[in-house]
Amino acid sequence: MNAKVEQLYLKTRRGAPMQAADALTLVAGVGIAGDLNAHRLSPRQMLVTVASELAALALPAGVLRENLVISTDAPENVKPGAALVGAGGLEIRLTMYCEPCKQLLPLVADLTGMIGRRGVLGVIVGGGRLQRDQALELIPGRHPALPESPYQRFLDFISTIPRGKVVRYADVAMAIGADHSFVRAIPGYIKRSLGADLPLHRIVSARGHLLATVPDQARRLAAEGVPAHDAVDLDAFLWRGEPA
């Protein structure tokens, strides 16, 4: 299925207007070079919208804070699990719908009407240069869609934390595609999951302190080569999503 790059934008600062660009550099596993959302752990490395949807909403390109606007002959297939593939191995995996937020209230009167219409978030599988007017191939179902449930995404992510590494609450929130404020929900998710066979001992506080809710955490970390009495040395053992 055919698609074409219509507009490109870069997000350099939180709250600042998106910057229009003629080309973007996509870095595999990381995101868009120079973009605020570039991070290996994030399933929200870029936001893709469809030009026909913007037209139906009577909104100009860029106001939904999207990075990529495409035109396509199959807009119904721009959904989680699909991929946009370009020359030279460039590939964007679409992961989850971008939820409408309060930032859109000056643009639309009803946020509920924007559910599923703001665009689809994605990660960079294959890097390269993405340019305006570039042809892309839209491939439905190329990847598994991420679960809609944040808790299920939590369970899936925890199992990927490598042995000998730790993550903080904020890293978990990022990795499951949630806002930073979602850190308040992480302790509840941990308690809910204590009976599962998951490496919950690899989660620490913002400053690396051990968690009272995780049994035998210090011993389990030490067995993996992570010294921990009251806290873990984050400079040495924090996992930022690097390949194992």
Task: Note the pLDDT of residue 63.
Answer: 83
CA angle 191, 209, 211 (to 5 degrees): 20
Cα dist from 13 to 4, 25, 37, 221, whole Å:
27, 17, 10, 36
Give the separation between CA 235 and CA 135, rounded to whole angstroms: 42
The position carrying tokens 């990847």 is 143
Q: What is the pLDDT of residue 241?
A: 96
Residue 6 makes CB contacts below 8 A (sequence gap 6+) with: 51, 61, 69, 70, 71, 132
241: CB partners within 8 A, 6+ apart: 29, 39, 40, 41, 175
Amino acid at 32: I
Q: pTM, whole model, 2 decimals?
A: 0.90
What letter would DSSP give residue 156?
A: H
- pLDDT at position 30 is 98
Whole-Å CA distances, 124 to 73, 83, 110, 111, 212: 23, 10, 31, 28, 37
Sheet architecture: strand order including 128-131: 31-32, 23-27, 128-131
In a structure prediction context, what are the per-residue pLDDT tens digits for the chain, which is 244 residues long?
A: 799 999 999 999 887 889 999 999 999 999 999 999 999 999 999 999 999 999 988 888 988 889 999 999 999 999 999 999 999 999 999 999 987 666 665 566 565 666 667 889 999 999 999 999 999 999 999 999 899 999 999 999 999 999 999 999 999 999 999 988 899 999 999 999 998 999 999 999 999 999 999 999 999 999 999 998 899 999 999 999 998 7
Q: Please give the pLDDT value at position 229.
A: 87
User: What pLDDT shows up at residue 72?
Assistant: 97
Confidence at residue 17, expressed as pLDDT on a 0 to 100 scale: 84
Work out the burial of residue 16: count CB atoms within 10 Å of its CB; fewer than 13 is exposed, 13-18 middle, 19 or more buried.
Answer: exposed
What's the pLDDT score for residue 205? 96
Tell me how far apart the alpha carbons of residues 171 and 207 are, in angstroms, rounded to a whole number: 12
State the pLDDT at residue 37. 94
What is the CB neighbour count within 10 angstroms for residue 222?
12
Residue identified by tokens 């893709």 is 48
Token output for 11: 């997000």
Give the DSSP H or E segment for 77.
Answer: none
In this prediction, residue 127 carries a pLDDT of: 97
